[in-house]
Each structure stands twice: as structure tokens, then as C-alpha cells.
Amino acid sequence: MTSTEKTQSQEYEFQTEAKQMLHLVIHSLYTHKEIFLRELISNASDALDKVRFESLTNPDILDKNAELKINLKLDKTAKTITISDNGIGMTKDEVVQNIGTIARSGSKAFLEKLTGDQKADSNLIGQFGVGFYSVFMVAQSVKLVTKRAGSDEPAIAWESKGEMSYSLEEVDKKEHGTDITIYLKEDESSFAEDWQAKSLVKKYSDFIAFPIYLPDDKGKDELINATKPIWKRDPSEITEEQYEEFYKQACGGFDKPLTTIHNRAEGIMEYASLLYLPTKISPMELYNYDRKHGVKLYVKRVFIMDDCKELLPEYLRFIKGVVDSEDLPLNVSRETLQDNPLIQKIKKAVVGRVFSKLEEIAKEEPETYKSFWKEFGPIFKEGLHADLDNKEKLMELVRYQSSNGDSADDLTSLKQYVSRMREGQKDIYYITGENRAIVEKSPHLEIFREKGIEVLYMIDPIDEFVIPNIYNYDGKQLKSVARGDLDLGDLGKEEKKEKKKVETKYKKLAERIKNILTNQVKDVRVTTRLKDSPCCLVADDQDMGANMEKLMKAMGQEVPVAKRILEINGNHPIFLNLQDIYKKDPKNKQLEEWVNVLYDQALIAEGQIIKNPVDYLKRVNDLLETASSTAKESMVAKEEEKA
């Protein structure tokens, strides 16, 4: 930013990126120009909230008799609109930071979102906070005069035409707060009409918790909004459009919410809550634990703090809204909230409401619940690890893909899985992995497909960490298809008989294979879980699985070396041939090559990376060369026999 001295003011030039963004905001962002008034009133409301909160610890900054309010003043002749508030105001540095720099926290991502031929989306303001600049859609210039409450610094005037630069100047202003004067473009003069202003306030800002005044024909201030906060009103009085507007303006939502949860509790504990389940949420909010939006805490309609983490557990961090308590003290702080018994009771009640709503959606609107789960399921499942008190409710709400579904759109609950269990099946089977494409092709599933036993696909990283917390459901244990010696109970009687015969047959070959792979595997054994594949790797019951090992390494954790077990399919042609090779020459060099190739293939089949791809390819090529040579000799021999 560069500046040049003027007689009474300083001129500042916007940064290149800011100029580009300003152009996009003015010319491409909004479908409806009228939205500018909503944005400015929302900013004024935030300023009033802040000064009221700051006055709790610094009473001197606010006159006890002063009414916190927003004033609109229209001048049809001059074609101006002035929006005034007696809120917190800004110092010069704050003006530069909050007004002079556009969406500084997300400008790059915002620009990327609006490049190319993509249609402009007005919902993006919720993601990047550029609402103030919507005023330039209707304004040829804007002047902002502000004075910070409790500061000795002089008032500052910011002025810009929304082009290359803006100016800053010290001015006289006795009262704290902010006045924004909009000089309308010639073809936007209708916004200076009284009926238009009243209509837009009613449409977009009726829920604002502060009075909005507009002078009537006699010059007397007329209240033009309902000052009772939306969360304090009876749900029957509120339209879906009003709920949606509050979600977008006050809660930082940038799309239509998936559902609304509005509740007012009276009696021993009195509070009101208005919560929203978003349709989706920006990654910046979801994984930023210092996020701006979340559940706001109010006490007796006085704003206390944004994103009150003490009201909801972390696994519900995607929920937005407001909780207003009548019983908490006004001087409550974040430090005292955690151990406050009342806040814990409110939290329990609020979480209970969320669960009830989710249960209702899951039962009555399965497609809507499916949309919710796809967006927030991996986060929601964190609760299975963190919230043991609500474990049973959580287990009813979790969903998984499974071998019973044809695609990722087919989700199942644990209850549905149990209802479909085969007669004689005693356990719930699951497989973990990186994604559906890998796990559904896993050799570990072969016997399950043959016998029609459903397997849950646990393919979210969090699944590995929460499985031990689930352990069992409805008396059925959860068992991994890729861990331990498989036991299907009554469903595997025939396989057990067959296994005993094959184990005897391959006992010596298995010992030889174990000797060859002594540095890679813990044991080698015959299995009944394979039908088409020659072999697979499984983890011992007490050892870390392959997917968990991969996740831990990705997190930078040191992973203890745990050899796995190689299971072989005694009925596969490859092992029938290897058995013949072993009988002829137990130390056959080619036997070693085959065993190493099969081990690497077992790793590949489960999505692992083999240690030495070059060695693997050389072994495969050598074996192919030998096989093709043998095939050629066989063909020649047959031709000679015919001759």
C-alpha cells in the first residue's frame, strides 16, 4: 500500500489483488443489488453487540441511558442513504485492517473461486466476509466516519469510489460509533425511497436484536423492525425465509441450512436456542479451531462470545446458531464456562435436541440424512471416541458403506446390518482401507461374497481410531476380515474340515515359505478366507493393521515394526504348482522368486507400496520368461508327437 500526503487527508492505493477482488465484488458477485443494505445493517448490529459486551468490563465506555440503535436517513434529492450506529466504532488502524484491506484472510481463495467462466455466487460472502463492498454496486462513492468507544484517538473518515484508492482523514465526531453515507448512482436512486428501505429491512433485517429507526413524514424516528430477537420469538411466528436470513447474516451461513432446531426451555433452567445444521461448510471453518462462526452465547440477550465451544462437543463443531441463557451471570468468561454446572446442563440439553433432530431426519427423510452424512459423517464419528456418555445414540446414527450396496450412495446403519445378518452369523464384519475401490476388491472378502455375508466398509481415517470404542453392537462383536484367524462359526463348518486336510498337505511348504520371508512375515498358514486369490496378508489379533499403520506414518508418528501373517490358498493352482516344485527340490531358486512375487502382490492387493518395485518387476519378468520358454518347449514337443 502506498500513500501520498494531501492537504488534510492521506490517499491510499488498493493492492493489486484487492483491486481485482473489488472489481469482482462490484460487478460479478451479487445477483440482487438490494443485498447491500442487509450487509451494512448486519455490520452495524455486530458493532452494537461488541460495545455492549465491552461495557460489561468497562462501564465507562457506554452511557447507561443510551439506547443502542441503528438509524437510517434517506435524502431523495441528494440521492444518499446514511446508516448510523452508536456501536464500538474503529480506530484508524482498525479501519485500515477491516475496511482498507479486502477479505485479507481469504482473498486468494476467493479470487480463485470467481475466476474463469464460473457463474457468480452471492453465497460466497458468507465464506469470505466481503459484504461491505457490495455497497459499490449501487454507490458512486461511499464515506465512512467512525470513532472508537473508549479510545482517545480522533475520529477517522474513510472515503472511496470503489476504484483504485481510498482516503483517510481525521475529523470531528463526538459520539462513538459509525456513520456510512452512500452516494447513489443515478440509476439506483430508488433505494433512497422510504418504502424501499422499509421493505428491505422487513425482508432481510427484521430479526436484528437492535431497533432500526427511519424518520417519518414529520421527521420523527419510526421503528421499522421487530426488535425481539428471532430466537426469543415463537417458532410459529417465523417463516422459513426469516430463519434462512438469520442463518446467513448472523451465523455466517452461505447456503440454505439443511435443517433448523429452534427451542425455548422454561422452568428450572431458562434458555432459548436456535441451531442450524448446514448443508455444507467451508474447509476453512471446519478445520480452523479458532473459527469465527459456531454457536454464539448470549446472556439475557447480551452477546457474550462467538463460537462458544463449551456449548457443543467438538464433533458437532459444524453446527451454527445462538444460545441465550437467562440464568448465567453477565460477567461470565470463557475461563469460567468450562466448570460452570449450568452451562453443562444447557450443553446436555442442546446436544439432546441435536440427536433428536438427527434421529427424526434419519427416520423420516433418509435422503436428507444421506446428504448430511456425506458432508459431516467423518466428523460426527469422532464422537464415538470422545463422547462415551452418548455412545449408544451415536451408534444408532452412524452410517457406513458396505458390500451390500452397489455404490458410495448406499449407506447402512448398524441396526440395518444386524437385521440382514445370515442365520448362524454371530459377528459384525468390517474391513478398513483408504477408499471403496481398494477395499471392495480386497481378497479378504472372497469367502464373504461366496457365503453372502455382508461386510461394512470403514474407509474414513477416523474409523481406525473409533472401532475399539464401538467394540460391539446389539450383543454382536465387530470383527475385522483382515485380522486374526478367520472363524465363521457354523457358517464355516465345511471350510474348517477342508482346512485341516490342507494344513497337513502344505505343512512343510509353509515352513519353507516362512523361512524365505523370515524378515517380512510373522507366520505362514493355510486359510479358508481365500477363494480366487493365491494369498493375502492379515494382522495378528493384537497387532496394528496395515491401514492404521499407514495412517500413523502419515501423521508423522513412529510406528513399531509388526510383522504380519501370510495366508495361502491351498486350492489355488499356483500353490499346487509350488508344492510340486518344493517336492522335487525344496531349495529350488525359482521357488524363492515365486514366494517373493506373491508376497509383493499381497501388499499391492491391499493398497500398500512395495519396498522395491524394480526387484519386483525383474522377478515377474524372469518368471514370465521361464514360463513362456516352458510353454514353447511344450508346443514343440506336441508338434513332434503329431509328426
State pLDDT tens for residues 493-506: 888 888 888 888 99
Q: Which CATH class for the 231-360 domain? A: alpha beta
Residue 164: pLDDT band by 50, 70, 90 thresholds? confident
561 — pLDDT class (breaks 50, 70, 90): confident
Which range has the worst mean pLDDT, 106-120, 298-312, 467-481, 625-639? Answer: 106-120
* Per-residue pLDDT tens digits for 419-437: 999 998 999 999 998 899 9
**Alpha-carbon Rg of the chain, whole angstroms?**
34
CB within 8 A of 302, min separation 6: which ones?
52, 53, 56, 330
Residue that has been written with the C-alpha cell 470422545 in this structure: 386
Domain 3-227 maps to which CATH number in 3.40.50.1820, 3.40.190.170, 2.60.40.10, 3.30.565.10? 3.30.565.10
The per-residue pLDDT for 122 is: 34
Look at the block and give the residue holding cell 483504485.
164
Could you tell me if 190 and 199 are in contact, meaning their C-beta atoms sit under 8 angstroms apart?
no
Q: How confident is the model at residue 113 (pLDDT cuts 50, 70, 90)?
A: very low
pLDDT tens digits, one per residue of 438-471: 899 999 999 999 999 999 999 998 898 888 888 8
What would be the CATH architecture of the domain defined by 376-490?
Answer: 3-Layer(aba) Sandwich (3.40)
Rounded-to-5 percentages of helix, strand, coil across the chain: 45, 20, 35
Please give the Cα distance from 619 to 636 (Å, whole number): 26
How, if at all, do strands 165-171 and 155-160 pair?
antiparallel
Task: Give pLDDT, residue 74.
Answer: 97
**pLDDT interval class at 235 (50, 70, 90):** very high
CA angle centred on 174, ends 171 and 176, rounded to 5°: 100
Spatial separation of the C-alpha atoms in residues 146 and 179, rounded to whole Å: 6
Distances (CA, A) of 484 to 71, 182, 312, 356, 565: 72, 72, 39, 38, 9
> How far apart are alpha carbons 542 and 105 in whole angstroms?
46
pLDDT band at 483 (very low <50, low <70, confident <90, very high): confident
pLDDT 10s digits, 590-599: 899 999 999 9
Q: Enumerate the β-bridge partners of residue 523.
A: 565
Find cell 488502524 and name the residue. Answer: 93
Q: State yes or no: pLDDT of 20 exceeds 90.
A: no
Say what the pLDDT of residue 80 is.
97
- The mean pLDDT value for 510-523 works out to 94
Q: Which of the four pLDDT bands, split at 50, 70 and 90, describes residue 491?
A: confident
Helical spans, DSSP H, in 119-211: 125-128, 194-204
Q: Which residues pair with 320 in a beta bridge?
A: 276
User: For the chain, what is the mean pLDDT?
Assistant: 84
Q: Is the pLDDT of residue 14 over 70?
A: no
| CA-wise closest residue to 209 among 333, 326, 327, 303 | 303
Domain regions of the chain by residue span: 3-227, 231-360, 376-490, 505-637
Please say if the pLDDT value at position 43 is more than 90.
no
pLDDT digits (tens, 9 = 90+) for 63-111: 888 899 999 999 999 999 999 999 999 999 988 877 765 544 333 444 4
Q: Which residue has the cell 484508524?
A: 92
Distance in angstroms (rounded) separating the CA atoms of residues 85 and 246: 20
What does the alpha-carbon distance between residue 522 and residue 486 come to, in Å, rounded to a whole number?
Answer: 17
From the list 567, 568, 553, 526, the residue with the least C-alpha distance to 608 is: 553
State how far the Cα of 248 lies from the Cα of 125, in Å rounded to an integer.
Answer: 9
- The x, y and z cell numbers of residue 642, run together, are 503329431
Q: How far apart are the first and last CA of the chain?
A: 93
Exposure letters 462-471 (e unless 16+ CB within 10 A, then b): bbbebbebbe
Mean pLDDT of 468-489: 88
Q: CA angle at residue 513 from 509 to 518, to 5 degrees?
A: 145
CB 496 within 8 A of CB 446: no
In the prediction, which pLDDT does 13 show?
A: 72
- The answer to whether 232 touches 324, Cβ cutoff 8 Å, is yes
Q: Residue holding cell 523361512? A: 515
- Whether 123 has a pLDDT exceeding 50, the answer reads no
The mean pLDDT of 229-256, rounded to a whole number, is 87
Annotate 155-176 with DSSP letters as a single string.
EEEEEE-SSSEEEEEEE---SS
Which tops the pLDDT comparison, 616 or 556? 616
Report whether 200 contacts 87 (CB < 8 A). Answer: no
Q: Which of 204-213, 243-252, 317-326 has the highest mean pLDDT?
A: 317-326
What distances in angstroms separate CA 438 from CA 276, 434, 442, one per listed residue? 36, 7, 6
What is the predicted pLDDT for the residue at 28?
Answer: 54
Q: Which pLDDT belongs to residue 611? A: 85
Residue pair 250/48 in contact by the 8 Å Cβ criterion: no
**Alpha-carbon span 195 to 190, nearest angstrom:** 9
The domains spanning 231-360 and 505-637 adopt the same CATH topology: no
In CATH, which superfamily holds the domain spanning 505-637? Heat shock protein 90, C-terminal domain (1.20.120.790)
pLDDT(388) > 80: yes
Beta bridge partners of 223: 213
Most confident among 101-115, 328-342, 350-364, 470-484 (mean pLDDT): 350-364
